[in-house]
Amino acid sequence: MTGMQLWYADFCDTFYRCFIKEDRYKLLVSGVGVTIKVSLLAVIIGIFIGMLIAMCNLSKRKLPRAFGGIYTDVIRGTPSVTQLMIIYFVIFATVNLDKWIIAAIAFGVNSGAYVSEIIRGGILSVDHGQTEAGRSLGLNAFQTMTRIVIPQAVKNIFPALCNEFIVLIKETAIVGYVGLMDIQKAGDFIKSATFKAFMPLIGTGVIYYVLIKILTLALRQIEKHLRKSDVR
């Protein structure tokens, strides 16, 4: 056999041992489901928390502004894996919730700090004259914010939010620390079972890339739709 034939035979054997034998590919398929579930719920929680903290940081009152500042400072100043373990092993240690929900809450809390700064920057980027125009039309502060300022801010912050969501998906690769079988953990399990590192690692990398590529294309279409009303 030639060198190329030997390489191909070894590649096929390794591929079979890593993904086909004992239906190991099912671990990765299950891991994709876990990653998607955790990421989607974390995004929702992150947006909700981010909006609340952004409003706190923009408040003229000292207490909400102080709370928002402390929250943002603490969350951004500590590793996400530490936050995950504190929330899982300490805060929710005695709570009967599915692991993936607790993990999603942890990532949502972490993402909320970054989303809040994105939202705050987007709101501040809207010309102050828009607020004055809304108030002159008889709208109160809440109506002006929700009907005039935030809709304009959304288009400005959407690309940054998309980037945060993509980063969030990749960050979920640490959920194995709390015993969840996500994509990365499935790859690690296959690597331990087969003593082959290259194929499982490349496989997990490809899966993450495909997921993020699909998300990027979908978000790009949404952004184009949001930009249709822009006059350039």
CB 64 within 8 A of CB 4: no
Q: Tens digits of per-residue pLDDT, 143-192?
A: 787 778 878 888 888 888 889 999 999 999 999 988 899 999 999 999 99
Pairwise CA distance, residues 41 & 169, whole Å = 11
Q: What distance in Å separates the CA atoms of residue 158 and residue 220, rounded to the nearest whole number? A: 10
Confidence of residue 1 (pLDDT cuts 50, 70, 90): low
Has this prediction a pTM greater than 0.85?
yes
Question: What is the pLDDT at residue 229?
Answer: 60
The predicted pLDDT at position 75 comes to 95
pLDDT for residue 142 is more than 80: no
Residue 232 has pLDDT above 70, yes or no: no
Alpha carbon distance 138, 61 (integer Å):
23
Task: Find the mean pLDDT for residues 75-98.
Answer: 93
112: which 2 tokens? 């909320």
Dig out the tokens for 213 from the structure. 């590529």
In tens, the pLDDT along 195-221 reads 889 999 999 999 999 999 999 999 888
Among 1-15, 102-116, 135-149, 155-169, which is the least confidently predicted range?
Answer: 135-149
Residue 227 exposed, middle or buried by CB count within 10 Å (0-12, 13-18, 19+): exposed
Positions of E strands within the chain: none
| pLDDT of res. 230 | 60
In whole angstroms, give the CA distance from residue 220 to residue 217.
5
Once rounded to an integer, what is the mean pLDDT over residues 6-17? 88
Q: Which residue has the higher pLDDT, 98 or 139?
A: 98
What is each CA distance from 16 to 57, 118, 121, 200, in whole angstroms? 54, 45, 50, 11
